[in-house]
Amino acid sequence: MPAHPLRAATAIAGLGLTETGRVYGRPAADFAAEAVWLALEDAGLEKRELDGLIVNQGISGGPDLSLALQLGLPELRFCTQLNAWGSSAAQMVQVAALAVASGMARDVACVFADAPLRSGEGAGAAYGGPRGRAKGMAGLAAAYGYGGPIPWYALAAQRHMDLYGTTSDQLGAIAVSTRAWAAGNPRAALREPLTLEGYRASPFVCEPFHVLDCCLVSNGGACVIVTGAERARDLRRPPVYVHGMGQAHRFDLGRAERDCATRTPGVESGAAALAMAGCTTADITMCQLYDCYTYTVLVTLEDYGFCKKGEGGAFVEGGRLGPGGALPTNTGGGELSSFYLWGMTPLSEAVIQGRGAGGARQAPDNRRILVSGNGGVLNHHATLVLSPEVV
C-alpha cells in the first residue's frame, strides 16, 4: 500500500512557550505575540518569512486576527481564526499542514493564548459557571446546578464506572503517573510527589472527581510553526514531522442508543491519524493526551485502541503510563500537573520529546508520538501522529 502523500510532507519547526500559570497583568494577546516571537527565534526564522497565521483564543477573549497587526505582519498569504475548544491546537497544525502542502503558505504560525486567571480569584472562577444567561431549554442544566464542564465529565466518568467497574483508584493511577513525570519538568506547576493515598485524601469536587482528577487553570501562550519537511531540515531546530492526522465531531442528542460518555469521537479521529501514518497502536512509543480530567485519558486510550472498551482502568494501573512504564504518557506533567493551555499542552510536549529535548523527563523512545486534543464535553476530537523520523 503506497504511503499517504501528506505523510511527513510537513513538520513542526518552531516552538514558543511563554511563562505559564498565575501570571497576572497581561492580556491574552500579549502572551500570543510573545509566543510567536519565541517560536520564530526557536526556528531561526525572520518575521518577514512568516506568511501564514492561525489564531485560537481561549475563554478570556483575544487574541484574534488583529494579532497580525500587533506582530507587524501587514501581508500574509494565509490567515484565519479557529476554535474547537481543546481540539483546536491539533486542528491548527492540520490546517497549517494542508496550507503548506498545497502551496498556499510556506511558514505558518499556529498560536493559542489565554488569561482566565485574575489576581485574588480562585482558579474555579474561570470555568466554574455559565458565561452569559442561558435561555430556553439550554437553561435547564444551569437550573439544576450544572455550572461549567466538571459535572458533565464527572457524569461521563460515573457512567464508565457503572458500565465497566472502573474504580476511583484507577483514575488516581493516572494522576499519580502524570505527577511523576512533572517532577522532571521545570515548567510544571505541581512537582511534589503524589501517591495514591494522597490522591484519595484530596477533596471531592463533583463525585467521582477529586480535585486531583481535574486540570489546572493557567495564563500563558504557545505557538508552533509548521513548514515543509525539506525546508524544516535547514532550520535551527530538529524537525518533528507530521505523519498522520485526523479529527471527528459528535454531539449528544440525548438518545438512548448514543453513549457519548464512553465512546468519544477519538475512535474515528485516532483511526484516521494512524491510517495516514501507516501504523497501529503497537507502533506508538509515547502518548501526549489531552487530560482536562483523568477520565479523558482513560477513555481516549480505549477509543484509540490501546485496550478494549471497558478495560482502560486495568490498562492504566501498575505505572504503565509513568516513568519506566510501557507507554510513557503526558511526559511533561500534562494539564493535570504542569500547565493548561488547552491542546497546546500535549502538543508542545510532543515537540519537545520529538526533538529529544526533554532532559530529565525524556522518554527513551520517541519514534512515534500520538497527540490528542479534546473539546467541548467529549464532542470534538483531533489527533496527530508525530515523529522525528521521515519514514
Question: Which residues are known catalytic residues?
Answer: 290, 340
d(CA 47, CA 206): 47
Contact between residue 151 and residue 206 where contact means Cβ atoms under 8 Å apart: yes
The interaxial angle of helices 294-304 and 150-164, nearest 10 deg, is: 50
8's grid cell: 511527513
SS3 278: coil
Cis peptide before 130 (omega within 30 of 0): no
Backbone dihedral region for residue 73 (phi beyond 0: left; psi -120 to 50: alpha; all else: beta): beta
Distance of alpha carbon 271 from alpha carbon 381, whole angstroms: 12
DSSP structure string for 140-153:
HHHHTT--SSHHHH
The answer to whether the CB of 264 falls within 8 A of the CB of 382 is: no
- Any idea which residue has 497502536 for its cell? 281
Q: How far is CA 105 from CA 44, 45, 225, in A?
A: 18, 15, 12
The residue written with cell numbers 501528506 in the block is 6
Peptide bond into 208 cis (omega under 30): yes
In which residue are the cell numbers 500579549 written? 30
